[in-house]
């Protein structure tokens, strides 16, 4: 992993957002894509469950961000119940890009054009350090659960 490689534009936006929140971000550029939780965990050297996947769903046709543990798959029925939506489905790539300004596989919890209603998988509380994408499929950043919650104003829910 490299902390000195130049950051992609979207990761610089994420860094600016974190700095504005009073944090000193450690965004790492990975030599290979961290498009999946397993790829990210292997590159970082952490448990797959400590990867905070940023998934954009359409909840009653409104994009929402759900930060899930890489240790399991989100169940849309459980997510729908947790957020009080009648219908939840994965957002298509075009909606993800429009809502976040970032590509699938690199969606960060912050740095979006407008704030998304955010939900956080309760399973992520089990880790002292979690890892999230930082705006690009080759960038990741460590966070604590509390920091993730504060940054996103996320509501804790079950997703599986």
Assess contact for 43 and 134: CB atoms under 8 A. no
Condensed to tens digits (0 to 9), the pLDDT of residues 123-153 reads 999 999 999 999 999 999 999 999 999 999 9
The tokens describing 99, both together, are 């809502």
The rounded Cα 95 to chain-centroid distance in angstroms is 16
Residue 53, domain member (yes or no): yes
Residue 133, domain member (yes or no): yes
Cα–Cα distance for residue pair 70/81, rounded to 1 Å: 20
DSSP 62-92: EEEEEEEETTS---HHHHHHHHT-S-EEEPP
Percent residues over pLDDT 90 in the chain = 86
List the domain range (segments joined by +) for residue 76. Answer: 9-157
Q: What is the pLDDT of residue 13?
A: 96
DSSP 142-154: EE-HHHHHHHHTP
Residues of the chain predicted below pLDDT 50: 1-3
- CATH classification of the domain holding 126: 3.90.960.10
Residue 33, domain member (yes or no): yes
Residues sharing a CB contact under 8 Å with residue 9, sequence separation 6 or more, in sequence order: none
């Amino acid at each position: 992993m490299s902390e000195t490689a130049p950051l992609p534009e979207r990761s610089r936006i994420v860094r600016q957002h974190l700095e504005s929140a009073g944090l000193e971000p450690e965004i790492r550029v990975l030599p290979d894509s961290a498009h999946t939780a397993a790829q990210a965990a292997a590159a970082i050297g952490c448990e797959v469950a400590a990867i905070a996947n940023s998934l954009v769903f359409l909840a009653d046709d409104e994009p929402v961000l759900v930060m899930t543990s890489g240790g399991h798959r989100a169940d849309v029925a459980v997510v729908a119940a947790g957020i009080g939506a009648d219908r939840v489905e994965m957002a298509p790539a075009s909606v993800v890009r429009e809502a976040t300004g970032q590509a699938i596989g690199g969606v960060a919890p912050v740095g979006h054009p407008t704030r998304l209603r955010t939900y956080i998988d309760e399973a992520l509380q089990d880790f002292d350090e979690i890892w999230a994408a930082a705006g690009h499929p080759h960038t990741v950043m460590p966070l604590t659960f509390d920091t993730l919650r504060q940054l996103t104003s996320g509501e804790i829910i079950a997703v599986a």
